[in-house]
Structure 1
Amino acid sequence: MPYPTALADALTTELGLDGSGRLLDVGCGPGSLTLLLANRFEQAVGVDADPDMLTEASRLATETGIHNTQWRHMRAEDLPAGLGSFRLITFAQSFHWMDRPKVASIARSMLDAGGACAHVHATTHQGVNGEEALAHPRPPHSAITELVRSYLGPTRRAGQGSLAQGTASGEGEIYRAAGFTGPQQIEIPGRVLTRSTDEVVAAVFSLSSAAPHLFGDELGKFEAELRQLLHDTSPSGTFSEQTRQIAIDIWRP
C-alpha cells in the first residue's frame, strides 16, 4: 500500500523542507517513499541492493513525471560511494536488513549541517484487523499466513535465508552509538483503502517471507490457491483495508 501524502507533509513541516537540498532513501525498493518526497527536494537519490526494484522505481518516476531522481544499485554498506551530502536520509522498512551500526555511522557522516535521518516504522503490505464495518471484506490475512506456512514451513523465510528470531530491533541504541540524538517522533494516523485481488497478491509476493522464488516449482499452485482464497472471501475481487499508524523517528547528529 502506498505511503500517505500526510507522511510527506509531516516531514515537510517538521524539517522545514522547501525544495532545496538533497534526499537519500536507503533501501528504497521501488521508490515508494523516494517518489513521495522527491518534490520536496532539489534532488532525490534512491539506493537499493536489488536491481529489479530500481528498474521499477525508474519506471514509476517516468510514469509520474518526476525528473529529479537518481537510482543507484548498491548495498547500504557500500555508502558513501561518492554520492555527496544530504539534507535528509531516510530508512523506510529497510534498516533491519543492514549492518546497522556501520550504516548508521556512514549516514551520520553524509548529512549536511542541520540535516537529519528519518526512520519510518510502517506496515504497508497489510492493514489491521478490526470489528468495524468497512465497505468491502478485509483480506483474510491469517488464512494467507497459514497458506504460506503450508508451503514454506513454520520458520519465517527471508529472501535467501530465514528470520528464526524475527526482525531485528533495538535501533535506538544503534543510532545513539553512531552519534545521533533523539528521536523526535511523528505519528501519522491510519486510513481506509480499497484494494484489488491483484494488489493483495502482489503484496504477498512483495514480502521477503513469501518471495516468488521460495515456492520453486509450486509457485503456480500456491498462487492459484491464494487467488481462490481471496475469491472465496470477496467474489467481487475488491477488499477494504484499515491501515496501521505510521511512526517516524527523526534522528539528528
Structure 2
Amino acid sequence: MGLGFGGDVATYYARFRRGYPAGVLEDLRETFQLTPDDTVLDLGCGTGQLAVPLASRVRHVVGMDPEPDMLRLAAETSARHGVTNASWVLGSDTDVPALGALLHGRPLAMTVIGQALHWMRHEVLFAELSGLLRPGGGVAVLANGTPAWLHDTDWSRALRGCLEEYFGTELKASCGTAGEDRERYARALAAAGFGEVRHREVSYAEELTFEELFGGVCSAVPEDMLPAPAERPAFAERIRQALPHGTFTEQVRVSVLTGRTARARH
C-alpha cells in the first residue's frame, strides 16, 4: 500500500519536515468555522505536522496515511504533545469512501491535504469527499514551500545539480507546489461542486543549517533510492562539497487553497 517512504525516510520526515505557521492553522479554523465539536481528516498525514496542532482546535482528528512508519511516528509525536483526540488510520485516497463507516455517520468539518495531493487522484477524491462533509465544511490543500532544490538561488541550483548527477535524473517535479498545480486543483474543486474556492499564501524566510538541508533531502528520497546508512556520510559530504559554505536562506511560501460546501439554509 505504501509509496516507498517508510523506514529511515519516515524518520527523516518526522525530524526535518517543518511544521506550518500558526497563522495558517488559524486561517483554516476561520475559513471552516471549526469548533470543539468538529472532526477533521488529515489525508496523507505523514508524521503529523498538521494533524497534531489541529487537534487542539477540534473534537477529533483522523490522520490517514499509506505508510505504517509514518503513522507510528505520528502517534509518537502525538503522545509527546499530550494529544489524546487523534486516531491514526492506514489508508490512502482510494480508501476515503470507507471512512463513512469509521466515522459512524458523523460528517467531517474539513479534510486537509498537506503536500501530498500530487500522489492522489484529486478529481475523484474531491467528489468523494463532498459527501462526507458538513454544511460549510470543505477541503484545504496546503503546500509547505517549494522543494529545496527548485529555488532560484545559487545554493539551490548547486544542490539540484549535485542530486541530478548522483541519482542520474532531472529534478523538475514540483510536488504540487507550482502555480499551475494550484490552478489545476482549484478548477477540480469547483468542478466537484465546491464554492468559495480561494487561494492565499503565507511567506517567510528561514535559515537552514546543512544538517537541516540534508535531512530535508533525505525525507524526500524514496526508501529504495536512499543511500544505505554506511553510504550516507559520503552522500552528505558530496552534497556539502557542492554547496557554498554557511547557512542557507530559504524563502518559504506556504500555499493555502480551500473550497467550501454550501452552508445549511436557516
Residue equivalent to 1:142: 157
Residue identity opposite 2:197 in structure 1:
P
Residue equivalent to 1:250: 258
2:57 to 40, 49, 52: 40
Unaligned runs of 5+ in 1: 131-138
* Counterpart secondary structure, 1:80: helix
TM-score (norm 2): 0.76
Cα separation, 2, equivalents of 1:63 and 1:196: 25
2:74 to 57, 71, 85: 57
By how many angstroms is 1:62 displaced?
1.2
* Counterpart secondary structure, 1:12: helix
* Counterpart secondary structure, 1:66: coil
Give the % identical residues. 26
Please tell me whether the aligned partners of residues 155 and 248 of structure 2 are also in contact (alpha carbons under 8 angstroms): no
Please tell me whether the aligned partners of residues 41 and 63 of structure 2 are also in contact (alpha carbons under 8 angstroms): yes
* Aligned positions, number: 231
Unaligned runs of 5+ in 2: 1-17, 262-266
Residue equivalent to 2:196: 182
**Does residue 114 in structure 1 map to residue 136 in structure 2?**
yes
Cα separation, 2, equivalents of 1:149 and 1:185: 32
Residue identity opposite 1:248 in structure 2:
V
1:13 to 12, 30, 46: 30
Please tell me whether the aligned partners of residues 128 and 243 of structure 1 are also in contact (alpha carbons under 8 angstroms): no
C-alpha deviations, 1:20-48, integer Å up to 9, x for none? 20110111111111112111110011111
Deviates more, 1:38-47 or 1:6-15: 6-15
Please tell me whether the aligned partners of residues 51 and 73 of structure 1 are also in contact (alpha carbons under 8 angstroms): yes
Cα separation, 2, equivalents of 1:168 and 1:73: 30
Matches within 5 A, 1:79-228: 79-81=96-98, 82-84=101-103, 85-123=107-145, 125-126=147-148, 129=152, 140-156=155-171, 169=181, 170-188=184-202, 190-207=203-220, 210-215=221-226, 219-220=231-232, 221-228=234-241
* Counterpart secondary structure, 2:45: coil
2:245 to 233, 236, 239: 233
By how many angstroms is 1:83 displaced?
2.9
Cα separation, 2, equivalents of 1:128 and 1:18: 38
- Which structure exhibits the higher relative contact order, with contacts defined as CA atoms closer than 8 Å and separated by 6 or more residues? 2
**Does residue 77 in structure 1 map to residue 91 in structure 2?**
no
Cα separation, 1, equivalents of 2:235 and 2:134: 48
Residue identity opposite 2:145 in structure 1:
T
Q: Residues 119 and 22 of structure 1: is their aligned pair in 2 closer, same or farther, counting only changes over 3 Å?
A: same
Residue equivalent to 1:134: none
Q: CA RMSD in A?
A: 2.8
By how many angstroms is 1:185 displaced?
2.9
Cα separation, 2, equivalents of 1:250 and 1:157: 26
Cα separation, 1, equivalents of 2:208 and 2:166: 25
Q: Residues 13 and 172 of structure 1: is their aligned pair in 2 closer, same or farther, counting only changes over 3 Å?
A: closer
Cα separation, 2, equivalents of 1:149 and 1:128: 15
Deviates more, 1:87-96 or 1:174-183: 174-183
By how many angstroms is 1:173 displaced?
2.6
1:23 to 16, 31, 40: 40
* Counterpart secondary structure, 1:2: coil
By how many angstroms is 1:226 displaced?
2.0
